[in-house]
Amino acid sequence: MTYSDYSTALVTGASTGMGAAVVRQFTERGLTVHAVARDAARLAELAAETGAIVHAVDLTDTDAIERELGDLEIDVLVNNAGVSAPGNILDVERHTVDAMVDVNLRAVLHLSRLLVPGMVERDLGHIVNISSIAGHYNFFGHTAYHATKAAVHQISRQLRNDTLGKRIRVTEVSPGRVETEIFGRNLGGSPEAMKEAWETYYEGYESLTTADIVGAIDYAIAAPRHANLGLIEIMPTFQVPGGLTFDRRAE
């Protein structure tokens, strides 16, 4: 099941960053791509550039997902959309937890529920779930984000069980730090916040780029039909997830 086996794809979080890069790659590969995001203006620019079919959908709205996307026949599903926010369980706000559960987890489940049965019926399909090293390793902060990405890891494993005996592949791509807008959005999304995020998290670092993530996805999809690349962990060479902290108390 290389690209020649597939005709259609759906990519969430498609208006920017990794999602937009995947849309560009897929259209260059000859797929008809459905690009999903909230930002209608950016989607329109992407459509003009790539010819993608765009859907301005809020993934926290399950009714909208079903109405707009539920009847599509999709061969390659890329669950890329994700949100994050600063804060651990001691100081995180209710709306932040809800947003991460809704986008990072609930939307993945519902899109799989709606689109994977068609793949099973056609005996053909590939699901790519973008998780994070935060779903595999514990480090400080972002507790809800860690939890939702860990759930994406388990969903990816479980989808292999659910589709056993069918020619359907599931790939989880688990990146470390990638140069995207996510840190800037965490700081408020203003031009000043984007500049601060770049200087704090990217300037002077050799981070991953969206091209690195697209390359990993491309490799998994282009693999021979008998080969399923289940988990691709991709990190900057100078970033490691390990480290031990021992907090000492005097009393």
Active site residues: 145
Sheet holding 125-130, edge to edge: 53-56, 32-37, 8-12, 76-79, 125-130, 168-175, 231-234
Nearest-angstrom CA–CA distance, 71 and 207: 38
DSSP 118-171: HHHHHT-EEEEEE--GGGTS--SS-HHHHHHHHHHHHHHHHHHHHTTTSSEEEE
Identify the three-state secondary structure at position 12: strand
Residue 205 φ then ψ, to 5°: -100, 150
Whose tokens are 């203003």? That residue is 190
**End-to-end Cα, the chain, rounded Å:** 62
Tokens of 136: 């595999």
